[in-house]
């Protein structure tokens, strides 16, 4: 097991100075977020399930032994003061019972019967979600709990820091960040504990947000029962509405100091009684209650915009306004929908998952919408688009549907007048250019075997190859070797063979690209060369897409994908390489949510668009 193996970086731990020790701890702990990031899809699925179960009167139960159990209890205990949730809504259980919270109860984790007794004591039901936390993935207390919960029909979620565990075989959703060996061998309260805390933060916070416990990023599910809370509610009212302090106080008094009621009353311009009614009908979600008027005025003007990529699918559900604009009502995510990588069946399933999640986020029943746009990676050709259009027609998705490649979305979302150059560098890469008169040209997007230069996958693969060459002595020594091994929790480059060839898909390998970028930013010559070449190749594709359309300078440029959005240094390298090719990017927009472009494209379909869908 990774969590029990020795860490080569700390084999002389007892000889380090305090400063050396701290630097080692910082370096090791820095690996945790990237390990957790590999589990984003599973964590998001878990959040959706938890929110659905809580909404249906279920509970969230954390269960573990030792550090794992204490972390679950900590997260559960923090939910009532943070989100004003009922203390019985999120429950933490630990092997050995309450005494084990502050003192070790030796051997308790080895008794599976304790877990069953603990779950019976809280009257576990099929409506609940049980999160079993076991860093090793084999703790008897947790395994027995998962089996008992599954037999009752409860949803089971596992958290471990090892792969191919017994826990993974007993749960509905498995979250397994591989943080690698601890600096003190087997002391999983360190990196593994940190990873667990990050995941629990996401699960409880994400579920509470989905339940309407926040308005934007403001905690709004509270009552002003003391002076501190009265000051906080006043501040939230001011920030959300723009009122001054006196007006905010007057509003709160008129609404019996009910913060949510005050927000809806002010922002929707309704009475406190109407605000309460709206909140009840929308499950306490402030934004949905405020938007009720928009939804009721134009119930047949719902619009869906979808951005389907190699790592995930995003759906935005929007509603048109009388002034010609639109508001986002809900956002949902699904798995990858690049049919070139996952096939049509999995792509359709991911789209369906994202759409259902968007409606759930908006608090609306799923229904046929007015217009929809499917912007899909790997579907740049008419015959591919037609398959998705046929699917959309078969499920009654919308009155009118437009299907196109994902790069089209960036032009719509990130250029001032709907023309210019869009460049994607995520799991894959591609450049797409559109002229003022509607002519378009694309370059790249050939997939991992034939192209995708400058993509996250290509950068990560180059990093892995550099580590292999360095190990053989065929290439220069590089910090990439240790950093990539740490990302997988491995000891030797030879161990990468099994992980890369048998245990990782394309998206997982691409998730290592930030490691290569970070090492390059630290000045490693080999990593710098990889990143520089990637930026040059990406610029070459962009120039190839732009030049056939006769673009001069300046040219509007829209950028998307993990590498270009999250790495300022890579984005700068790319723009400099593009300038060296004679193209002056101006203005430059970083598009964090390409699905907004899909909404805009959907609304551009003609008003008399027939119910039969049309391709790009």
Query: Is residue 109 annotated as a catalytic residue, yes or no?
Result: yes
Buried b (16+ CB within 10 A) or exposed e, 246-255: eebbebbeeb
CA-to-CA dists, residue 584 to 11, 267, 546, 556, angstroms: 52, 43, 11, 9
Which residues face 372 on adjacent strands?
Answer: 304, 401
The dihedral formed by the CA atoms of 286, 290, 294 and 299, expressed in degrees to the nearest 10: 40
Extract the tokens encoding 75: 């997260």
Determine if the peptide bond prior to 587 is cis (ω within 30°). Answer: yes
Active site residue 78: yes
Longest dimension (CA), the chain: 77
Residue 408: which residues within 8 A CB-CB, separation 6 or more? Answer: 375, 422, 432, 434, 440, 597, 601, 616
Residue 350: name the closest of 391, 407, 394, 408 by CA: 391
C-beta atoms surrounding 441 within 10 Å: 17
Tokens of 100: 């084990």
Rounded distance between C-alpha atoms, residue 474 and residue 471, angstroms: 8
**Which one, of 343, 341, 366, lies nearest residue 354 by Cα?**
366
> How many Å separate Cα 347 from the centre of its chain?
18
**What is the DSSP code string of 124-171?**
--TT-EEEEE-TTS--HHHHHHHHHHHHHT-EEEEE-SSSS-TGGGG-
Q: How far is CA 199 from the centre of its chain?
A: 12
Collapsed DSSP state (helix, strand, coil) of residue 370: strand
Q: Which residue among the candidates 78, 147, 274, 576 is catalytic per the annotation?
A: 78
Using an 8 Å Cβ cutoff, are 118 and 130 in contact?
A: no
Q: In this structure, what are the phi and psi dihedrals at residue 214, rounded to the nearest 5 degrees?
A: -130, 160
- Judge residue 331's burial from the number of C-beta atoms within 10 Å of its C-beta, 0-12 exposed, 13-18 middle, 19 or more buried: middle
Is residue 557 within 8 Å of residue 432, measured between CB atoms?
Answer: no
- 557: helix, strand or coil: strand
3-class secondary-structure state, position 92: strand
From 179, 201, 194, 198, select the one nearest 31 (Cα to Cα). 179
Options 109, 266, 353, 453, the catalytic residue: 109
Q: Name the burial class of residue 366, with classes exposed (0-12), middle (13-18) and buried (19+) by CB atoms within 10 angstroms of its CB.
A: middle
Rounded Cα–Cα distance for residues 252 and 201 (Å): 31
For the annotated catalytic residues, the residue numbers are 78, 109
């Amino acid at each position: 097991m990774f969590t029990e193996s020795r860490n080569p970086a700390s084999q002389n731990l007892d000889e380090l100075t305090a400063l050396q020790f701290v630097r080692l701890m910082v370096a090791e702990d820095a690996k945790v977020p990237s390990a957790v990031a590999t589990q984003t899809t599973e964590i998001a699925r878990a959040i959706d399930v938890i929110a659905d179960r809580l909404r249906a009167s279920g509970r969230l139960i954390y269960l573990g032994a030792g550090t794992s159990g204490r972390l679950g209890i900590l997260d559960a205990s923090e939910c009532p003061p943070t989100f004003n949730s009922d203390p019985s809504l999120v429950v933490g259980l630990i092997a050995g019972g309450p005494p084990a919270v502050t003192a070790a109860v030796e051997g308790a984790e080895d008794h599976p019967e304790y877990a069953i007794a603990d779950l019976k004591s809280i009257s576990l039901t099929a409506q609940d979600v049980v999160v079993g936390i076991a860093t090793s993935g084999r703790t008897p207390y947790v395994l027995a709990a998962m089996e008992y919960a599954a037999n009752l029909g409860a949803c089971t979620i596992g958290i471990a820091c090892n792969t191919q565990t017994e826990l993974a075989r007993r749960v509905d959703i498995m979250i397994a960040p591989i943080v690698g060996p601890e600096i003190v061998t087997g002391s999983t309260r360190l990196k593994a504990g940190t990873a667990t805390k990050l995941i629990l933060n996401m699960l409880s916070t994400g579920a509470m947000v989905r339940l309407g416990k926040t308005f934007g990023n403001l905690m709004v599910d509270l009552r002003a029962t003391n002076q501190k809370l009265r000051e906080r509610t006043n501040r939230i009212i001011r920030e959300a509405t723009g009122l001054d302090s006196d007006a905010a106080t007057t509003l709160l008094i008129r609404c019996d100091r009910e913060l949510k009621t005050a927000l809806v009353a002010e922002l929707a311009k309704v009475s406190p009684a109407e605000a309460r009614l709206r909140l009840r009908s929308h499950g306490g979600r402030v934004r949905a209650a405020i938007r009720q008027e928009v939804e009721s005025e134009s119930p047949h003007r719902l619009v869906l915009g979808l951005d389907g990529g190699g790592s995930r699918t995003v759906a935005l559900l929007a509603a048109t306004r009388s002034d010609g604009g639109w508001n986002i009502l809900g956002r949902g995510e699904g798995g990858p929908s690049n049919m070139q990588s996952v096939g049509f069946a999995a792509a359709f399933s991911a789209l369906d998952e994202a759409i259902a999640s968007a409606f759930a986020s908006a608090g609306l029943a799923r229904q046929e919408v007015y217009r929809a746009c499917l912007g899909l990676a790997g579907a740049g050709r008419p015959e591919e688009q037609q398959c998705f259009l046929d699917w959309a027609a078969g499920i009654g998705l919308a009155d009118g549907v437009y299907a196109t490649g994902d790069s089209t979305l960036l032009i719509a979302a990130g250029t001032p007048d709907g023309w210019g150059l869009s460049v994607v560098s995520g799991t894959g890469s591609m450049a797409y250019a559109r002229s003022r008169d509607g002519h378009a040209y694309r370059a790249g997007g050939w997939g991992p075997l034939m192209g995708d230069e400058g993509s996250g996958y290509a950068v990560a693969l180059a990093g892995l190859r550099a580590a292999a060459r360095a190990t053989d002595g065929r290439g220069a020594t590089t910090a990439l070797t240790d950093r990539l091994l740490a990302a997988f929790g491995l000891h030797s480059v030879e161990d990468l063979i099994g992980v890369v060839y048998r245990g990782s898909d394309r998206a997982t390998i691409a998730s290592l690209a930030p490691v290569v970028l970070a090492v390059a930013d630290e000045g490693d010559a080999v990593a710098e060369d990889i990143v520089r070449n990637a930026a040059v190749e990406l610029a070459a594709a962009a120039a190839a897409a732009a030049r056939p359309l006769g673009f001069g300078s300046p040219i509007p440029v829209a950028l998307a994908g993990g590498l270009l959005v999250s790495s300022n240094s890579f984005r700068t390298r790319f723009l400099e390489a593009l300038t060296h090719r004679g193209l002056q990017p101006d203005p430059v927009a970083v598009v964090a949510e390409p699905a907004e472009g899909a909404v805009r494209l959907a609304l551009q379909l003609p008003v008399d668009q027939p119910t039969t869908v049309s391709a790009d």
